[in-house]
């Protein structure tokens, strides 16, 4: 079946939606991505993007929306993908075309991600009327009753991926993202101190990158790069790292986990959610409260040769299981089945 016209509604996850949309365009789909400038990596609109302000209470947002609503009707999509839509007006953009709903998480990570009741009710009903619901892991699919699973690719544009870093240039361990309670920092810091006080330490730092509120002392050989960041800030230290911490207390799957593999870095994960499901062969998950086990993981990856060898294996796993073309091919099959 020949690919058709696809309208993708993704106000919050613009970089990831771009990766999927560009892979689908390469597969022959005629794609329009409706998005916003809310994501930190937002920049100039690409030729297939319509950029809207998803704040209906702001009067100045209505005229641009009305113009794009007319454009959407003229585009007449064969299928619509919806992803974390929260502006009620965007329901009209989808029109009556069959919809495919993408679900990333089975539940909020914390109270700051809880939606108001009216949003849960409105978008819950709208989502339930989708032609298909897709998840990015078996774990989430089971939790929400999704119809199928599509592998989660990284939201880093494949063209921006640096060369695999050799053993001689590997240094430090990184923890990237919002440093909230679910990131399990207390256990991570305790394991790091155990590692640095033992014979396995090779002089590395634990580098925390991102905003957050860390009450506990960081301890020795820990650096915190505070504040918001862009990929330009984190690509170099992350690609050169010996390991990337994704040892969370509560998780579904993690974009940081697939990003680490894309960069050729071993993700160190907990047993929560879908994190074990995504791991490369031979890379075990570690109990969420297992300080000693996490310290042993630091010890093993402190050897730069081991870090480089295992990082290369993680990259190969990413390329065969989670790369943009692999994931988009699975998604394309699901979209075709909805409109066939």
- Reported residue count of the chain is 340
Place of tokens 């998950």: 285
Q: Indicate the DSSP class of residue 282.
A: T
Of 153, 98, 117, 41, residue with least CA distance to 338: 98
3-state secondary structure of 21: helix
Which CA distances in Å does 340 have to 78, 141, 334?
10, 23, 10
- 263 neighbors 328 (Cβ within 8 angstroms): no
Ramachandran quadrant class, 68 (left: phi over 0; alpha: psi -120 to 50; beta: rest)? alpha
Give Cα 149 to chain centroid, integer Å.
Answer: 15
Whole-angstrom distance, CA of residue 112 vs CA of residue 179: 13
Whole-angstrom distance, CA of residue 134 vs CA of residue 144: 10
Q: Are strands 148-149 and 132-135 parallel, antiparallel or unpaired?
A: parallel
Annotate 107-123 with DSSP letters as a single string: S-SSGGGPPPHHHHHHH
Determine the pLDDT at residue 251.
83
Q: What is the pLDDT along the chain (340 residues), one digit of tens a residue?
A: 678 999 999 999 999 999 999 999 999 999 999 999 888 887 888 999 999 999 888 999 999 999 999 999 999 999 999 998 989 999 999 999 999 999 998 666 555 566 677 677 777 788 888 999 999 999 999 999 999 999 999 999 999 999 999 999 999 999 998 888 889 999 999 999 999 999 999 999 999 999 887 877 888 999 999 888 888 889 999 999 999 999 999 888 889 999 999 999 999 999 999 999 999 999 999 999 999 999 999 999 999 999 999 999 999 999 999 999 999 999 999 999 999 7
Annotate 204-258 with DSSP letters as a single string: --EEEES-B---S---TTEEEE-S---HHHHHHHHHT-SEEEE--SS-S--HHHH
Q: Which residues contact 116 (CB under 8 A, 6 or more apart)?
A: none
Angle of the 324-339 helix axis to the 14-26 helix axis, nearest 10: 70
pTM across the whole model: 0.92
Domains of the chain (ranges; CATH) run 5-153+324-339 (3.40.50.2000), 158-321 (3.40.50.2000)
Of 334, 331, 283, 279, residue with least CA distance to 306: 283
Determine the pLDDT at residue 39.
84
Determine the pLDDT at residue 69.
96
């Amino acid at each position: 079946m020949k690919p058709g016209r696809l309208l993708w509604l993704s106000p919050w996850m613009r970089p990831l939606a771009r990766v999927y949309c560009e892979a689908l365009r390469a597969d022959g789909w005629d794609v329009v991505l409706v998005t916003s400038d809310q994501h930190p990596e937002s920049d100039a609109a690409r030729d297939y993007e319509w950029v809207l302000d998803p704040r209906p209470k702001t009067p100045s947002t209505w005229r641009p929306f009305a113009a794009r609503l007319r454009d959407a009707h003229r585009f007449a999509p064969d299928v619509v993908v919806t992803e974390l839509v929260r502006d009620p007006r965007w329901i009209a953009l989808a029109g009556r075309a069959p919809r495919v709903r993408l679900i990333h998480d089975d539940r909020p990570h914390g109270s700051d991600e809880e939606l108001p009741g009216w949003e849960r009710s409105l978008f819950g009903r709208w989502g339930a009327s989708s032609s298909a619901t897709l998840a990015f892991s078996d774990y989430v699919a089971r939790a929400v009753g999704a119809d199928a699973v599509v592998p989660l690719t990284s939201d880093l544009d494949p063209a921006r991926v640096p060369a695999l870093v050799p053993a001689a240039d590997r240094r430090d361990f990184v923890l990237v993202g919002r440093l909230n309670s679910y990131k399990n920092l207390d256990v991570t810091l305790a394991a790091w101190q155990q590692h640095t006080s033992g014979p396995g330490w090779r002089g590395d730092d634990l580098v925390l990158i991102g905003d957050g509120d860390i009450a506990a002392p960081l301890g020795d050989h820990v650096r915190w790069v505070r504040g918001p960041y862009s990929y330009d800030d984190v690509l170099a230290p992350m690609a050169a790292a010996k390991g990337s911490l994704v040892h969370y207390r509560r998780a579904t799957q993690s974009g940081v986990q697939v990003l680490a593999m894309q960069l050729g870095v071993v993700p160190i994960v907990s047993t929560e959610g879908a994190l074990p499901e995504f791991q490369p062969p031979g890379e075990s998950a570690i109990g969420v409260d297992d300080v000693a086990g996490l310290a042993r993981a630091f010890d093993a990856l402190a050897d730069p040769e081991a870090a480089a060898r295992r990082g290369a294996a993680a990259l190969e796993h990413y390329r065969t299981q989670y790369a943009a073309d692999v994931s988009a091919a699975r998604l394309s099959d699901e979209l075709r089945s909805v409109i066939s």
